[in-house]
Structure 1
Amino acid sequence: MADNEQVLLDQVLVQRQAERSAPIREDEAFELFAAEQALATRQLSSEEVADGVIGGSNDGAIDAIYVFVGGVLLSEDSDVLQDGFSAARLLRGLKLELWLVQAKRETSFTETAIDKAASALARLLSLSESEDDLLKLYSHSVVSRTGFFRKALRVLATRHPQVEIHFVYATRGRASGPNSINSKVEIKARDLEAQLAGVISGAKGRVEFLGAAELWRRANAVPSYTTELTYQENATSGNSHVALVKLRDYMSFLSDEDGQLRRHIFDWNVRDYQGDVEVNREIRSSLENPDGPEFWWLNNGVTIVCSKATAVGKTYHLDDVQVVNGLQSSHTIFNFLRSAPGTHPAFDRSILVRILVTGDDLATRDLVIRATNRQTSVPAASLRATDNIQRDIEAFFIGHDWYYDRRKNFYRNSGRSAERIVSISLLAQAVMAMGLSRPDNSRARPSSLLKRDKEYGEIFSKEIPVEVYLWLARAQKEVDAFLTSEAAGISVPDRNNYRFHLAMVATAKLVGKPVRSPKQLKVLARDNVSMSAAHLSESLVIVREEFAAQEISTGSSLDKIAKGPDFVDRLISRLG
């Protein structure tokens, strides 16, 4: 008889399938779900989770791969992976993490699964192996994703990174308690941990088992945005506050129950942690110096917005917390104090904290974000989420029961279906592919489309009717759902190479010519024209034939072809 947790887990999986416009294979659905739960604390978006799933033939018994540098997820266009990148700007001792997920719908954990992964990882994580040799043994997706780790390791070598390699093995079985994992599997897991720790001197290897109970609990957990902040002195004006907070108490505020950084409270910050830039070196230096002046004299402090703040004694109770200014200070403080002895003088220094109670007024929060970041050298692209056009799109989507996640995971953490949530990056890719006929940019530059003012202006403009944005989002979701169906016959690793080119072709066929401006899609949006399976099948024939022809004529891989402009020209020529 199945355990209650297994029954409940299966119900969650059934519900997830029901939310999809087109159900996918159960094994693939479980891989996506397991990867999401394995990295639950990282608060990845649905698109980021899906991008890391690489299951298929020659996958080395690995179903999903993710690499983080300093807590930031790497993608193909991340700076650290580009040729010529200098690691000098990065902080010494930065954490480099590799997360590997193996997901099986079975109700047990087996030795064979670990043995296969261990054998593959011995080669995939070796810096002495050539990529050409690896590609003869494993799929392009596996080699490419593990390649993020290999390249980052080389680039960061002079900065002496903290290396952690996590292997998460998920099934629908029991991971703890009686009749769970047998001793042989546990021994193999310890062997794999030792192997992963041996990738480089000082590395840490960890094998984690997730069974039905663990997966179900994680799926039902909601990250808390309610927390406490103990202060020393404060001043109050209206319902907002300024407080001096000991760094040991601020460290507690930043830490979750496992002692890890509560990254989700920085989701609304305008930029990621910048590493070993001058300002962070200065912050760290002021922490290191035991005879230096009070910390808050040298630091601008942090700004917190929340919906409610109540002071009891010397402790604030804060609801819906977001740190909107002070991410660099917060990360540097956290990283320094985590490794410092508890007697270090820095623990008793103070930081200035502004607590602004904005209620549920998102527009006011946006004004605060812009105002508190205007004094520093923040790139304009970093403030995109606060633009009026972004708020207009969000409001229009909500009116049609869709959710524009201009604030990462805001709607996901509110319990909305992932199938109706659209991130800024996905919408930008959809506009670039279908509205501007540049799917190669959508494929090759997933995280950097919004960094250049010129491209941002092309993608997000008041001249484009807001209903066109909703049509583009729905159309891209329809394309993605079609590619996951058995009718499409596209393998998991290849879908990312097809999705934006197929979207471009299918849209051009609906319009009757290649699309050069999103404004050309006004009629499709007005008439609510959908991407039917039949239409997408016809369009897929064109894309598939041209991919095959381009592979023969160039000898390049599908991945390389999809990222280049030549193939786009070929498709447009085919469309006439």
Structure 2
Amino acid sequence: MNNKIILNECIQEFKEKNWLDLSYDEIMEIFSSLYITRELDTSYSEIEDSIVDGGGDGGIDSFIILVNDTSVFTEEDIEEITFNESTEIIIYISQAKTENSFKENALDKLYISLEKILDLELEENLLSKRFNPMLVEKILLFRNIWKRSVRKKSKFTINFTYSCKAEDTNVNGSFRLKVDQIVALTKERVNTGNINFNLYSAKELIELYSKPQHTKLELVFNETPITIQGRNQEEDGYLGVVTLADYYKFIVDIKENKIREYLFESNIRHYQGDTADVNQKIAETLEHNSSQDFWWLNNGITIIGSDCNLMHKTLFIDDVKIVNGLQTSYTISKFDDLAVNDDHRSILVKVIRSTQKETIDNIIFATNSQNPVSPTLLRATGEIHRNIEILFGNKGYYYDRRKNYYKNQGKPASKIFNIQDTAQAIEAILNFGPARARSKPTTLIKEDTSYNKIFDKDNIQSFLNCCLIHQKVKDCIKRIESADERNRIKNFTLHCSRILASILTCKNEYDSEDIKDLNVENVDCNTIKEAFELFESILEDYINENPDKNIINIAKANGFVQCINKKLEEHDFHE
């Protein structure tokens, strides 16, 4: 019984720490998925968006799709990906229960659903009759990625997870047989051998929750590194060479025999794979060229730390961020011989001690812009985003310009907004474009025209309220008792946010000044329910006029937005 009691305490601490007003079932879903995928650096918002449970969930609670460690939510996201042999796809299909034991009926539901999910002849209209819209959208994304990965011979992994409050993972033979049947069915249909089914009892969940995220490491140089004083007392640098063996021990957790993923969170690129030309050349140099020192042939590594202490040849670094040299680091990590054999060839390493956000941004930008990089990945370093971060911070909220920056500092999840979510909220509310925000979230930031329209410095004072309105709507949706109604309206959170903005301002066409002046924190669910009721009546009329359109397509249709605008023009707002 101890594990169950301790897990309950961990979940309660997680809820209080992140200021979450959710039911125990909802907390369990988010808690388990977040910590199971922790090594992949998933964020709270990514996990929240993966939840598909409720009516028509087919026994699935969350459906996470990761390509090269980046979450995929829309077809537009897929179009941004270049699939090849080095592309790594990881799918998590998860069940999370608050029951005290693992149940066979949960596996039965999953098996029946998989027969349909993995049957490519079952098209969207047939899937929609069996599953809720949120799950259907995940299934369609999964299938698209699956087919592309087969054509391009990409690495494809499916992880089934089942979490509950059982004391341990001891299950009977019948349960194990059903797990084997699920794995066998998936292997047969998907035609990949990398299919896993993992059980997480209270014991495993406690271990994941308690596992420390070490960010203080020691780096041993060949000789005492050169110390270069910065322009102020808070910043300086160190320059020197490190043997390949010592650098391997710095980036790889020897006990677990895996690279320390968290060191690379601030690096713009992820690992491009063994087949990438540059990585093949690095590997060839490592394996065959021992006559010339490695650092002569490589640009080296850039590290940022919040604090550094030098003792002779060893540098103790806090909050380690490797911001350049990821491809080299990952390639080195694959040479397991370095764990046991000294390789006296060296790599050039520069370490910068700084906690100044502007300095860190400039270093990341400079060290990653020497080669072609998508402008989308570099937006976060812009001045307007630093200003938004300051503005949000002054109000007690956190603008996550770099993924999981504030999560890793222990800030409440309910107080954190990332760039993508902020852009969608602004587009839906200030630009009256909920359909575009729903269907093309990547384009909002990628294209200069839409990006400049959204992140208009003249409207910056209204940005936080846009985020809060959208958050209030999402929170209120979670309290809807009917699972069918809840799952339907989850597709329209941005549309409801736009409607709520009109109700709060008592205007159909409000402006940024109107939004800025709102006291959104005091808006209660009764006001939001008024927005929901108005939305439902508009949706019902639209469906009657367009019976051939399904919920997912309606959410992405500009025609539906025009219908909303027309109804709001006719609506009698009251002060």
Is the 1:65–1:101 contact (alpha carbons within 8 Å) kept by the matching residues of 2?
yes
1:268 and 2:266 equivalent? yes
- Once the two structures are TM-superposed, the CA of residue 451 in structure 1 deviates from its matched residue by 1.5
Is the 2:133–2:551 contact (alpha carbons within 8 Å) kept by the matching residues of 1?
no
Match of 2:361 among 366, 374, 377: 366
Partner of 1:322: 321
- Once the two structures are TM-superposed, the CA of residue 190 in structure 1 deviates from its matched residue by 3.5
Q: 1:487-516 deviations in whole A, cap 9, x for unaligned?
A: 687645334312110100110222233447
In structure 1, distance between residues paired with 2:339 and 2:2:
47
Residue pairs, 1:489-500, within 5 angstroms? 491-500=485-494
Normalised TM-score (structure 2): 0.87
Change in CA separation of 1:21 and 1:476 when aligned onto 2, cut-off 3 Å: farther
Partner of 2:62: 64
In structure 2, distance between residues paired with 1:110 and 1:488:
24
Is the 2:225–2:238 contact (alpha carbons within 8 Å) kept by the matching residues of 1?
yes
Q: 1:138-157 deviations in whole A, cap 9, x for unaligned?
A: 33333321332322121122
Change in CA separation of 1:435 and 1:21 when aligned onto 2, cut-off 3 Å: farther
Partner of 1:544: 536
Q: Which runs of 5+ in 2 are unaligned?
A: 229-235, 570-575
Partner of 1:422: 417
Residue pairs, 1:107-506, within 5 angstroms? 107-176=100-169, 180-232=170-222, 235-238=225-228, 239-256=236-253, 258-273=256-271, 280-288=276-284, 290-291=287-288, 295-311=294-310, 315-331=314-330, 333-334=332-333, 337=334, 350-358=346-354, 360-466=355-461, 468-486=462-480, 491-506=485-500
Residue pairs, 1:65-84, within 5 angstroms? 65-79=63-77, 81-82=78-79
- Counterpart residue type for residue 251 of structure 2: L
- Once the two structures are TM-superposed, the CA of residue 386 in structure 1 deviates from its matched residue by 2.0
- Counterpart residue type for residue 361 of structure 2: D
In the TM superposition, structure 1's runs of 4+ consecutive aligned residues that sit over 6 Å from their partners are: 19-22, 340-348, 487-490
In structure 2, distance between residues paired with 1:495 and 1:428:
21
Q: Which runs of 5+ in 1 are unaligned?
A: none
SS in 2 for 1:303: strand
In structure 1, distance between residues paired with 2:458 and 2:173:
65
- Counterpart residue type for residue 237 of structure 2: S
Change in CA separation of 1:531 and 1:69 when aligned onto 2, cut-off 3 Å: same
Q: 1:174-229 deviations in whole A, cap 9, x for unaligned?
A: 224xxx43333234333433443444444222111111222233234442222343
Partner of 1:531: 523
In structure 1, distance between residues paired with 2:256 and 2:376:
33
Is the 2:59–2:95 contact (alpha carbons within 8 Å) kept by the matching residues of 1?
yes
In structure 2, distance between residues paired with 1:528 and 1:134:
38
In structure 1, distance between residues paired with 2:364 and 2:217:
21
- Once the two structures are TM-superposed, the CA of residue 31 in structure 1 deviates from its matched residue by 1.9
Is the 2:35–2:205 contact (alpha carbons within 8 Å) kept by the matching residues of 1?
yes
Change in CA separation of 1:350 and 1:197 when aligned onto 2, cut-off 3 Å: farther
- Counterpart residue type for residue 504 of structure 1: R
In structure 2, distance between residues paired with 1:383 and 1:284:
26
Partner of 1:572: 565
In structure 1, distance between residues paired with 2:20 and 2:38:
25
- With 423-432 and 544-553 compared, the bigger mean Cα shift is at 544-553
1:55 and 2:53 equivalent? yes
Is the 2:218–2:314 contact (alpha carbons within 8 Å) kept by the matching residues of 1?
yes
Change in CA separation of 1:231 and 1:130 when aligned onto 2, cut-off 3 Å: farther
Percent of aligned pairs sharing the same letter: 27
Q: 1:542-561 deviations in whole A, cap 9, x for unaligned?
A: 21122222233222111111
Give the number of aligned pairs: 557
Q: 1:115-173 deviations in whole A, cap 9, x for unaligned?
A: 32123223313445444443333333333213323221211223322222111100011
Is the 1:288–1:346 contact (alpha carbons within 8 Å) kept by the matching residues of 2?
no
Change in CA separation of 1:185 and 1:489 when aligned onto 2, cut-off 3 Å: closer
In structure 1, distance between residues paired with 2:489 and 2:245:
47
- Once the two structures are TM-superposed, the CA of residue 460 in structure 1 deviates from its matched residue by 2.1
Change in CA separation of 1:534 and 1:141 when aligned onto 2, cut-off 3 Å: closer
